[in-house]
Structure 1
């Protein structure tokens, strides 16, 4: 008998890129045994090979590149018959676009910019968009002249003029290009029929989940890691985009986040911190559930420090080098520690070419502070269980997190942690296992690192407590069992609804 199936929808992560969400997804797909998985992977560009060895539980991988020069279906076949693809193009003309698409598109734009929004209306708009693209071509529609004039004229009512005097033609053009890219999943109408769609963020990947729901009445489940809208607001506020583009990104992202919460049948968070943001954006607390990330304590376990580092005070970090991890603050803390411990070593493992410009800025700061012998980027490695054993402690300086694996992995290895108190860090790391500090608090983080490096007994005590806390609360077995239960409950709910519908008919 075939297992029930789950479509896991991801963006920029598993199975083609690393990071905490990818670790979570890999655990899920390898260890959860009561379902089969299909992956729907949204990426910036077309990816040739998965970064991970895929579990036999994964029966299909659908990849949708959003920002390539050509359309996704120019790279990949999505199972639509050739005659239907040709027919869609033939049927898509000026009259059809003007009569059938433009009213929906105008409603979408008005919803984004309106201050009086009923989220049920956005659900209806996306249902109409899906229904339209079942019959008509995405590219020919979105590039039609009527779309540009409607976009221009509708926006002029809301944002052009005195309220936004710096909106240039190039800004407005870029805005439409963004909308084109965000909505590309609407062009992939052949969504597999599954029992549950499982979203991994409350952003634009909700679109394929909506299609599955419209087409097959599929249940939608959302797991929130870092809160999408919070991280989007942080990124936008730190960007150099002009006001018009910032406003468009914020308003569209907020609308999409609200829609994701509205449509989800279950909202799983990896930390209670997320639920405050979810409530702000209209999520129903009755849908909430907490499932903490888990690790295998037989893999992440205490061991000896490598001989070549035995007498060197060492701080390790496992972090992709980009703005959200705030490596600048980590470097600054190293300068603070060096004043007391001149031979301190900070070893940072992770992709340091993800954002080359940021890495170069980090290297400039290292040179400026004279830390060339103290702070080193070690590049990526696939054995974090051994990386943590290189350190006397581990460090995390992020300005935003969900429930970071690096913290509980370090704790599982019996290595105490110094971290910023972001996301669910304080739910994982209490005062018996390490120190938490405010984000960007260079002095406070540096002083906490110094205290731990100078006190061997404190490190030993905190490391022992950290391991015990993981064994009690954050094991992989507990994580797997809780997800299996949620999947079962959703599928039982769907069966009950189907039986009720039959009785009513």
Structure 2
């Protein structure tokens, strides 16, 4: 199973999903290929015996992955690559492939077959040559500059600085790093994101015919476009990074034998980027409904209108809009409490913005960041309702966990949320609209009878559609189907 920035070293919805899968699947064992920004010293989760191996690939670490972790290469082979880079090979073998890659990035219609050929060719070259030495070579830098100036001139992109080009080259270097670290050999490859984590999967499929399953939670390319568009980078860098991300998405959809989504919303994006309709399927997330069950609201919160959230504090969760909605509610219910549980140091600068806004709006007694909580089943039952204000989602666990506890939900209508949350279980709102969200929160907090009615409907819907048993049964069937493809 290949993951990026999530399991087993970081929390979040994808990590919850992966942990359930690795712990509950009985017929299969797992080897984890974990791409992270930096080298992680300790897993966040306890790993059971079904996880046979964990390979880390820290793509933004100061050292190369092979310099900090023991892989299958012998020390002699590793050092030999460091000592020799045959410039003739660089000229004749790598530079033509590298130019083809840049051509794919700037193509108006990316040819997925061409991309796969390029990646396989690069992999072969790095079997004999050191990744770092190749990309640090002056000839590669010069080719990169010359080719990009030609492409950007063609597209009318101007005012490109040397710093811009340097950043673009760094992205190429770091994002392609997984091509130099092979997957452990397995019968099936399960990708959990359509990023450049696909590179070693492409190689395994090319060499051994290994079938590939891709599960998309949020659509990677959609979320990249959202994040990149909101960044402060130059137009050139935004354009380059979006194009680079489009390449990984198209390669992922092209190579995957089955493309599994946690919602149907993802389909239109996947089709837009080249996925075949026949490959698309949906399996909704499932939870342990016996663990997430209705409990009495704690006595210390009696008489206090309480809104709870389980959310990692970063941009996609749009906590700033959540805070502004709290101001709308507090104007009517001055003693309302928004209690936010979740990792609050993932993006420190964003957390600082949130704390500043809380002060500006005078919500110090209404809005609280409480940090991670290992017992979400207890957290949800502290509230009268729960809230989610994301601008992008897959099929969020927080929605169905809250529903399973009998707690109605106010959520933005993004991703697959509407496939989980119907009008009997909560209220859907427009993203980035604190007034709309605040009014929905007020409606539920001020109507006890409606909340009680929704409580019953929430629990019933989870028991019928979103149990962990249904989820595991479906994945075991899919894994068996993929094994048959291999045979």
Residues 29, 57 of structure 1: 8 Å contact kept: yes
Q: What TM-score, normalized to structure 2?
A: 0.98
Residues 166, 243 of structure 1: 8 Å contact kept: no
2:103 to 110, 121, 130: 110
Aligned position for 2:219: 227
Q: How does 1:317-466 map to 2 (within 5 A)?
A: 317-466=309-458
Aligned position for 1:96: 89
Matched, 1:492 2:484: yes
Q: List runs of 5+ in structure 1 lacking aligned partners.
A: 1-7, 496-505
Residues 192, 212 of structure 1: 8 Å contact kept: no
> d(CA) in 2 for partners of 1:56 and 1:468?
34
SS of structure 2 residue aligned to 1:218: coil
> d(CA) in 1 for partners of 2:389 and 2:8?
26
Aligned position for 2:139: 146
Q: For residues 157-204 of structure 1, what are the alpha-carbon distances to aligned partners after superposition, in whole Å with 9 as ceiling and x for unaligned?
A: 111488222210011011101100011112214x32211100001111
> d(CA) in 2 for partners of 1:295 and 1:404?
11
> d(CA) in 2 for partners of 1:186 and 1:356?
31
Matched, 1:180 2:169: no
* Offset, 1:256: 1.2
* Offset, 1:83: 2.2
Cα pair distance change 1:141/1:325, threshold 3 Å: same
Cα pair distance change 1:105/1:473, threshold 3 Å: same
Q: What is the count of residue pairs matched by the alignment?
A: 487
* Offset, 1:91: 4.2
* Offset, 1:214: 2.1
* Offset, 1:94: 1.8
Query: What stretches of structure 1 move > 3 A for 4+ residues in a row?
Result: none
> d(CA) in 1 for partners of 2:220 and 2:77?
36
SS of structure 1 residue aligned to 2:477: helix
* Offset, 1:350: 0.5
> d(CA) in 2 for partners of 1:187 and 1:208?
8
Matched, 1:14 2:4: no
> d(CA) in 2 for partners of 1:469 and 1:195?
36
Residues 94, 144 of structure 1: 8 Å contact kept: no
* Offset, 1:86: 2.7
Matched, 1:52 2:42: no
* Offset, 1:488: 0.1
RMSD in angstroms over aligned alpha carbons? 1.1
* Offset, 1:408: 0.2
Q: List runs of 5+ in structure 2 lacking aligned partners.
A: none
2:283 to 275, 278, 291: 291
Aligned position for 1:499: none
Residues 297, 475 of structure 1: 8 Å contact kept: yes
Residues 193, 216 of structure 1: 8 Å contact kept: no
2:189 to 197, 214, 217: 197
